[in-house]
Amino acid sequence: MDRLWAPWRSVYIGKDHGSGCIFCSKLEAGAEQDRENHVLYRGDKVFVILNIYPYNNGHLLVAPKRHVGDIEELDEGEMLELFAVTSKMVGLHRKTFSPHGFNVGINLGKVAGAGIPGHLHIHIVPRWEGDNNFMPVLGDVRVISEALDQTYDKLKAAMR
């Protein structure tokens, strides 16, 4: 039997996650818990959080603070800030990690792949040439080479 070690996952598995929206609960926890909750940025109408199940190192989620599930429910200010912050986060990644490209997108509805369909969010996935290797095909696993806390600290320092 092959083993993949991910001891940091035990911290997440052991937590009580409740039944509410994961995004809303992270915001309600308060800014003093942002590092623990991987909340990277709080704006007027949107916030940025690291995806705790990343497709790649540095996978970010940009979401409105207001609990809305569809793009048509956003007001003009939310739309503008959502895209502006998405753009800033792409720039932050370029400065910090020098990716070769990005996947940026929104999954609207469960059938479209939305893991949290009740709270709209934009995915920012940095990509590097060669980051898609044999592991997902042969082992049905992804290799994430850096712990979330390290990624958070690097991005937070670059924001200052």
Active-site entry in 93, 119, 121, 123: 121
121 is catalytic: yes
Strand partners for 105:
123
At residue 40's C-alpha, the angle toward residues 45 and 147, to 5°, is: 150
Please list, in sequence order, all residues whose beta carbon lies within 8 angstroms of the beta carbon of residue 148, skipping any fewer than 6 positions away. Answer: 8, 38, 50, 52, 54
User: What's the rounded Cα separation, in Å, for the pair 63 and 87?
Assistant: 13
- Catalytic positions are 121
